[in-house]
């Protein structure tokens, strides 16, 4: 499980979604950016971690059905990182992509929903807290 933890005083904990094989598309997307772009994405994930649902537009927005987007501009490209909130303390980052159309593609939103369904079928609150050492 890939966990982003920027500060000890965090309100939310950001986690990259992994499929059953342990692959995380969103982690790979961020990790494959150059150092400058990766630092910028990580700083926005830190803002999301601190502000949660209070991170305002134009930096974040609700797309539909509990799927949100983090909006980051990297060297002229509009990057979108999709995520959802769960169990009062967690933000699950599902997928990331370079936006090439006016609207977020429905296929990306549907992928985020599938990731959410998969994640919630494998992790209840107790399992998630134990696996992230939340109550250790």
Q: What is the mean pLDDT of residues 28-42?
A: 96
CA atoms within 13 A on the CB side of 2: 17
Report pLDDT for 9.
55
pLDDT value at residue 4: 58
pLDDT of residue 134: 56
SS3 11: coil
- Residue from 26, 97, 22, 106 nearest 67 by CA: 106
Q: Tell me the average pLDDT across 69-90.
A: 95
Answer whether residue 136 shows pLDDT above 50. no
Domains and CATH numbers, the chain: 2-131 (3.30.2310.20)
Those residues with Cβ within 8 angstroms of residue 67's Cβ, 6 or more apart along the chain or in another chain: 82, 83, 84, 94, 109, 112, 113, 116
Task: Give the torsion sign (CA, 99, 101, 103, 109).
Answer: negative
Q: What is the pLDDT of residues 6-28, one digit of tens each?
A: 444 558 999 999 999 999 999 99
pTM attached to this predicted model: 0.89
């Amino acid at each position: 499980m890939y966990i982003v933890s920027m500060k000890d005083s965090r309100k939310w904990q950001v986690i990259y979604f992994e499929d059953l094989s342990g692959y995380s598309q969103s982690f790979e997307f961020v990790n494959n950016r150059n150092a400058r772009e990766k630092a910028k994405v990580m700083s926005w994930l830190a803002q999301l971690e601190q502000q949660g649902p209070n991170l305002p537009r134009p930096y974040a927005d609700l797309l539909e059905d509990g799927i949100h987007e983090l909006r980051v501009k990297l060297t002229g490209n509009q990057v979108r990182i999709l995520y959802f909130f769960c169990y009062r303390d967690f933000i699950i980052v599902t997928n990331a992509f370079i936006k090439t159309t006016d609207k977020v593609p429905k296929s990306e939103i549907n992928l985020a929903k599938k990731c959410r369904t998969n994640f919630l079928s494998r992790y209840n609150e107790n399992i998630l807290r134990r696996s992230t050492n939340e109550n250790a």
